């Protein structure tokens, strides 16, 4: 006979947090959102942590190299989408890893034979007031000098004056050697009152430029997520079909963490994939998605470093309608978190879980964490920002961004949905849509994070772990949900709608 769950499955909007005592030292500026990304033994530190509990969805319309850099800069991780050829995904990983915080590859370059006219045209075109002069005019050529607006006087100098005659020559430049740290570069910038410091390798070739203003911006991102080489931490999605070739290429490109991207992860294909990756590569691998203790345990026993939770809750998802499988996101997280706790007590190994999909309001993130998620994955949330890879359009009077599901005909990510090995998407599990354009990632994240920290203080928690341990969560009735929004008043235009 079929098994029936006695409780209905529930979603985040059916729950609220109750305040705990807030001590005078429990203030938002003291809250840490640091959270583990991969499993670790009791008493040890995880090999990879996030500085904010956010990851961006493994989707064409969300996570490319640009999003990966922007989110790592803020302290989270992107999993670059896998529904593309292996080489182009590896290339995106390589680009994101190659982006060194504070070190930029020179974008305005000249040769000594160029003229003042060329300098002015370049400046007009790029807006950069500093140009590197290399022997071949490439960003990595032998450095011969630097041109800034202090080197010429447009009113006096002839337009055809060669750059070689007025640039600051290499012999007079202060420069750093390749391999120098960002703070050492900054020391040189301050000591010599520079705006820009070239970084040069042993053969005299230009490697990077470090700008004073970028260093200041770097200091404003104290949570950025870097590896030991000061490159951003980058993730990527894989599937259970071409993983042997794909993982090899991604690891070669420098990826830090993989996740098997599937709508149903409780499968033997996932176990085989995890076992293969663990046996052949030194890289972290998450698996999923699951919605119950059995699925969690299966993937953890197979060796998963973290487990992703959620079926059917995504904003663009029609899996539940099409196939009748899934579970309310809150119920799924609560049960998997219990299974994780039990596993921890039995083995002393803590396996992080990620709540994937269905975050609508910012407070849903805090609820997911309180229910035991270590971090969340979001698609719709990130798709709204400048940094997402899709087009920004004007529809009616509003700006929107395109956003489509991996199971839509547009993405054709059959590997994510196919469980039987047949190649093709027989029916859709996702839609093609728009989301309201919301501006830049950092400004939106700042607002979301301040709400989370403020709620954590209401709950008397300075860390995610403390929130998970001490949160008190109540179910709300349908009638009291109405009470939670503005009600029985006539709203003025432009007032908050309750988001
Ligand atoms: P959102 O944050 O609510 O937009 O949900 C994003 C999540 O939806 C992703 O991380 C995936 O787990 C899931 N997803 C992405 N594309 C599809 C689809 O086409 N159908 C069903 N689920 C999808």
Is any ligand 1 atom within 6 A of the Cβ of residue 319? yes
| Number of C-beta neighbours around residue 54 at 10 A | 27
The span from the CA of 260 to the CA of 299, in Å, is 11
pLDDT score of 494: 66
Span 327-373, pLDDT tens digits: 999 999 999 999 999 999 999 999 999 999 999 999 999 999 999 99
Among the listed residues 378, 286, 373, the one whose alpha carbon sits nearest the alpha carbon of residue 333: 373
What angle do the packed helices 65-74 and 86-98 form, to 10 degrees?
40
DSSP single-letter state for residue 317:
B
- Give the CATH architecture of domain 103-214: Roll (3.10)
The span from the CA of 318 to the CA of 471, in Å, is 32
Catalytic residue numbers, as ranges: 317, 416
Span 167-196, pLDDT tens digits: 999 999 999 999 898 889 999 999 999 999
| Number of C-beta neighbours around residue 283 at 10 A | 17
First to last CA, the chain: 44
Which atom of ligand 1 approaches the CA of 383 most closely? 4
Span 379-424, pLDDT tens digits: 999 999 999 999 999 999 999 999 999 998 888 877 777 655 555 6
Helix (H) and strand (E) counts in the chain: 17, 25
Is any ligand 1 atom within 6 A of the Cβ of residue 430? yes
Strand 349-350 with 49-50, pairing: unpaired
Given this structure, which CATH class describes domain 12-101+224-395+438-480?
alpha beta
- The residue ranges of DSSP E strands in 442-482, in sequence order, are 472-475
362 Cβ contact list (under 8 Å, min separation 6): 447, 448, 451, 452, 499
Is any ligand 1 atom within 6 A of the Cβ of residue 264? no
Stretches where the chain sits below pLDDT 70 are 418-425, 494-499
Sheet holding 176-177, edge to edge: 103-104, 206-211, 196-200, 176-177
pLDDT score of 481: 80
Which atom of ligand 1 approaches the CA of 360 most closely? 3
Q: What ranges do the domains of the chain cover? A: 12-101+224-395+438-480, 103-214
Two domains, one topology: 12-101+224-395+438-480 and 103-214: no
Is any ligand 1 atom within 6 A of the Cβ of residue 356? yes
The span from the CA of 348 to the CA of 367, in Å, is 25
User: What DSSP line would sit under 485-498, residue for residue?
Assistant: S--SS-PPTTS---
How far away, in angstroms, is 379 Cα from ligand 1 center?
6
Query: C-alpha distances in angstroms, 415 versus 77, 272, 411, 449?
Result: 22, 15, 11, 34
Residue minimizing CA distance to atom 17 of ligand 1 = 405
| Number of C-beta neighbours around residue 183 at 10 A | 11
Q: Ligand 1 pocket: which of 405, 417, 438 to mutate (most atoms <8 Å of CB)?
A: 405
Q: Which helix (H) or strand (E) holds 64?
A: none
Q: Ligand 1 pocket: which of 76, 83, 314, 438 to mutate (most atoms <8 Å of CB)?
A: 314
Which atom of ligand 1 approaches the CA of 57 most closely? 10
Is any ligand 1 atom within 6 A of the Cβ of residue 405? yes
């Amino acid at each position: 006979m079929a098994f029936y769950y006695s409780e209905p499955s529930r979603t985040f909007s059916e729950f609220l947090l109750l305040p705990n005592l807030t001590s005078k030292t429990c203030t938002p500026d003291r809250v840490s959102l640091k959270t583990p990304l991969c499993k670790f033994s009791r008493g040890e530190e995880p090999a990879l942590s996030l500085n904010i509990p956010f990851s961006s969805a493994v989707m064409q319309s969300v996570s490319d190299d640009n999003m990966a850099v922007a989110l790592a800069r803020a302290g989270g991780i992107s999993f670059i989408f896998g529904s593309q050829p292996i080489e182009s995904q590896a290339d995106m990983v390589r680009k994101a890893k190659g982006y060194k915080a504070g070190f930029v590859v020179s974008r305005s370059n000249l040769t000594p034979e160029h003229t003042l006219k060329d300098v002015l045209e370049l400046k007009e075109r790029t807006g950069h007031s500093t140009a590197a002069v290399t022997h071949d005019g490439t960003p990595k050529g032998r450095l011969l000098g630097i041109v800034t607006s202090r080197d010429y006087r447009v009113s006096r100098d002839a337009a055809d004056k060669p750059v070689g005659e007025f640039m600051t020559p290499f012999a007079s430049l202060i420069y750093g050697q390749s391999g120098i740290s960002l703070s050492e570069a900054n020391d040189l910038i301050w000591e010599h009152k520079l705006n820009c410091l070239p970084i040069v390798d042993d053969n005299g070739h230009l490697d990077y430029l470090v700008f004073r203003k970028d260093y200041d911006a770097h200091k404003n991102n104290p949570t950025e997520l870097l590896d030991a080489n000061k490159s951003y931490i980058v993730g990527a999605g894989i599937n259970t079909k071409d993983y042997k070739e794909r993982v090899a290429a991604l690891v070669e490109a420098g990826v830090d963490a993989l996740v098997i991207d599937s709508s149903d992860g409780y499968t033997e294909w996932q176990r085989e994939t995890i076992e293969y990756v663990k046996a052949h590569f030194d890289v972290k691998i998450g698996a999923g998605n699951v919605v119950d203790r059995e699925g969690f345990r299966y993937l953890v026993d197979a060796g998963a470093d973290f487990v992703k939770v959620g079926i059917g809750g995504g904003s663009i998802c029609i899996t539940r309608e099409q196939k009748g499988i899934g579970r309310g996101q809150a119920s799924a997280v609560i049960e998997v978190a219990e299974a994780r706790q039990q596993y921890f007590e039995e083995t002393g190994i803590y396996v992080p879980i990620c709540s994937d999909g269905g975050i609508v309001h910012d407070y849903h993130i805090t609820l997911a964490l309180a229910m035991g998620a270590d971090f969340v994955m979001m698609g719709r949330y990130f798709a709204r920002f400048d940094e997402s890879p899709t087009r920004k359009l004007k529809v009616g009077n509003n700006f929107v961004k395109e956003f489509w599901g991996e199971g839509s005909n547009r993405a054709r990510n059959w590997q994510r949905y196919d469980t039987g090995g047949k190649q093709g998407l027989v029916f859709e599990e996702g839609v093609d849509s728009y989301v309201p354009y919301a501006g830049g990632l950092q400004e939106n994240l700042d607002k979301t994070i301040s709400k989370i920290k403020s709620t954590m203080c209401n709950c008397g928690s300075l860390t995610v772990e403390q929130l998970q341990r001490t949160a008190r969560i109540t179910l709300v009735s349908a009638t009291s949900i109405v009470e939670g929004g503005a009600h029985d008043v006539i709203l003025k235009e432009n007032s908050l709608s309750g988001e």
